[in-house]
Structure 1
Amino acid sequence: MSNQDTAPRQPADGLDVRHETFTISRRLDAPPPAVFAAFADTALRRRWFKLPGSGATYHHEFGVGGGESAQSTFTVLDAPPEHLDYRSRYLDIVPNRRIVYVYESTVNDVLRWTSLVTVLLADDAESTHLTWTEQVAFLARTGDGSADLPHLRGGTALRLNGLAAALQPPTRPAPSAHVRD
């Protein structure tokens, strides 16, 4: 497949927008305040929310009306680098319970999609049941567009795997055994 077949393209008339919704649920081994902190605290957030590629920059302001911006350059074998740009804005925050935000994703200055995301955090016996619902409007497709939703859903699932890992306490190396003669 050539780069031309996979390059993002916007429909000529601007009317061909595809809307999708997906939900991912996870049980996380941390109480809701710890999960909420992983979204709110920038240092914790950097442990699990990352753009692929190199040279990434981030700015995060957690609060209604605030948001996040991130940029990076993603390179794959036999393809020109892609310049990624992510921008979000928080619309609603209920501490330890709910985060609602919108974001846009741009690749090489082409707005690919924009989404409304609702993250719900429910108590689940000293853990958290996280429900991530994303309503997306695909504005530019890769090829015929059939891989766009699986790509976004898969990337979100990987990001939530990173969230689960970031919530785990750091492991300490096992003490070394000393042998005496």
Structure 2
Amino acid sequence: MSDRSIEHATFTIERIYPATPSKIFHALSDKAAKRRWFADADGGNAGTYEFDFRIGGREVFSGGQPGGPVYTFDAVYRDIVPEERIVYAYDMFMDGKRISVSLATIELAPHGEGTRLVFTEQASFLDGLDKPEYREEGTADLLDLLGKAAGNL
């Protein structure tokens, strides 16, 4: 008998930012800008960060809190329309074990003088090692950090 399991989930998070779509897109597409809010924000151990923002390019981030598990985000960009959308597929690992496989879409649209961002993730959570509610909460936190970073560009 196998201890394997899978849980499917889809969630959508919306944010309104006072920054323009071009500033939000820059914070998502520029290596130095994204690293500040995505990889370096929590003060943990950012061991690896690679960023090749183009269709077919990869983004890899590996790190974690001292003494805690090491998480690895390994993404491939599948579609990019500047200032409008980004679609990527990614695997998440915890201490080298794959915990989920996802397809994520970021949509950007003007909203007054700012931007409306819609983030949608379709995920397969593997073997009980991660939960949809944890991922949604973590993604919401990252989108809050994105908003703060874009306001400082």
In terms of fraction of residues, the more strand-rich structure is 2
CA shift in 2, pair 1:67/1:55, >3 Å: closer
Question: Closer, same or farther in 2 for the Cα pair 1:169/1:70, shift >3 Å?
Answer: closer
Amino acid at match of 1:12: S
Q: 1:135 to 1:33 in 2, by over 3 A?
A: same
Give the 5 Å matches for 1:1-181.
Answer: 12=2, 14=4, 16-50=5-39, 53-75=44-66, 81-142=68-129, 148-169=131-152
Partner letter of residue 58 of structure 1? Y
TM-score (norm 1): 0.77
Rounded Cα–Cα distance in structure 1 between residues aligned with 2:135 and 2:120? 12
Indicate the SS of the match to 1:157. helix
Larger Rg over CA atoms: 1
Code of the aligned partner of 2:16: R
Gaps of 5+ in 2: none
- Whether the aligned pair in 2 keeps the contact of 1:110 and 1:140 (CA below 8 Å) is no
TM-score by length of 2: 0.91
Change (3 A) 1:37 1:55: closer
Matching residue's letter, 2:7? R
Shift of 1:68: 0.4
Alignment: residue pair count: 151
Deviation at 1:13, TM superposition (A): 5.6
Cα distance 1:23–1:169, how it changes in 2: closer, same or farther (>3 A)?
same
- The separation in 1 between residues aligned to 2:106 and 2:70, in whole angstroms, is 27
Return 5+ residue gaps in structure 1 as ranges.
Answer: 1-10, 171-181
Q: Aligned-pair distance for 1:123? A: 0.8
CA separation of 1:83/1:116 partners in 2, compared to 1, >3 Å: closer, same or farther? same
Higher helix share: 2
C-alpha distance in 2 between matches for 1:25 and 1:60 = 25
Structural RMSD (CA): 1.8
